[in-house]
Structure 1
Amino acid sequence: MKLTKKKTLVKTPKAALTPKKSFDFNEFRRSFESLDNQNYGSWPLAVKVTVLVMIVGFIAALAWALPISSKIDEIKAAEAQQVTLLEAYRGKESKARHLAAYKSQVTQMETEFNALLNQLPKDTRVSELVEGINMTGVGSNIRFQDISVEPEVEQEFFIEQPIRIAALGEYHQFGAFISGLAALPRIITMHDFEVNNPQPSLDKQPELTLVLQTKTYRSKETNPEEPVAATPAPEQGSN
């Protein structure tokens, strides 16, 4: 009996037989130096991919630099304008929401303002006012140097009558005089006052000078009385 020995063939994968090559940058660079410009199809695959990526990147950069970047600037400007318009809209919308209340307030203010205007005298009656100022000064023990009635100043709704007062006295006397002016039955406002000590001394209580600008008011409905010239008040003796 004859025995035969069978041989078994084991197939080895090609991947296991061929060692994997590592990336060689020098070889990759040399592949660019040996390119055939007349035969693009013969270029290595790595070169083709690299060139394609470069072309796509250049086109993308060009598209960004030219139209897209300008559009981005326009979008940013539009967004800033949108914020401004939204703020303006909110302000106008708030005013529109409260328009009825604003109209009611304006009507009430006009009524109150007209009532105040009606309280103003139809003429200044300067002589009576100067006499009241003079009597108030006598009661406060100050000595007048001058009471000057200055020209009227016409405002939009009324007419101002400025009166300049110069007097001598002490601090508490000036305070009593100002309080007396406020108590007169006329609307009188006081502006731009100055208090000076012309002769400082430690031996006695100093006599001070007061310069005070006052204003009274009248309605514009009628003509004023004849203006009164600047009249110096008579001197009063001090205590």
Structure 2
Amino acid sequence: MKNVEINFSGLTRQFEGLNGRHPGLWPIAPKALLLSGVVAALVAAGWFAYWSGLNEELESAQAQEQTLKDEYTQKVAKAVNLDDLRRQKVLAEQYVGVLEKQLPSRAEMDALLSDINQAGVGRGATLQLFRPGSVELKKHYAELPIAVKVVGGFHDLASFSSDLANLPRIVTLNNITIEHKNGGNLEMSATAKTFRYLDKDEIAGQAAGGKK
């Protein structure tokens, strides 16, 4: 016990008076303790860096996994709806085809104007005004407004409007006003609009205008 007490006392004395002295001049015991602390700190720092790197890799992998899951879900949804989208595309193309057949060419416009004129005359109504306006060119078609004024009974005007709607070409009535006239008749003023294809020169002119 005496030897142990002496050795312990000697170790204790080695830690006295270290302040201000270079570690290289320290006794063996303080040097050993300092070295152990440095090694432990280095090991801890390395261990922390190792696990930090693993954690970052794990988070990156998890984020990538979620991205892949989202992409997969979107692709599956598109694949499921693909047949429906194809059917809708076919139906839309068919509908556009039907509408296009109702658009006359420039050469057919005179015949259409004659049909509109006859729609009023053939129903016993009096067509007091039939004045085609200026053609307005749109992106894919031309629009022709026609100022019309028809006088007749209620059923005459209704039949005139119905005949226009039943023409094989598209004709619409806009800006309709109706007034009472003498003798119980009605006077309907409106702008009838019909539409036609653009001819080659008009298409070329629009294309040239778009390039400016």
Give the structure-1-normalised TM-score. Answer: 0.44
Greater helix share, structure number: 2
> Taking structure 2 as the reference length, what is the TM-score of the superposition?
0.49
Higher relative contact order (CA 8 A, sep 6+): 1
- Bigger radius of gyration among the two: 1
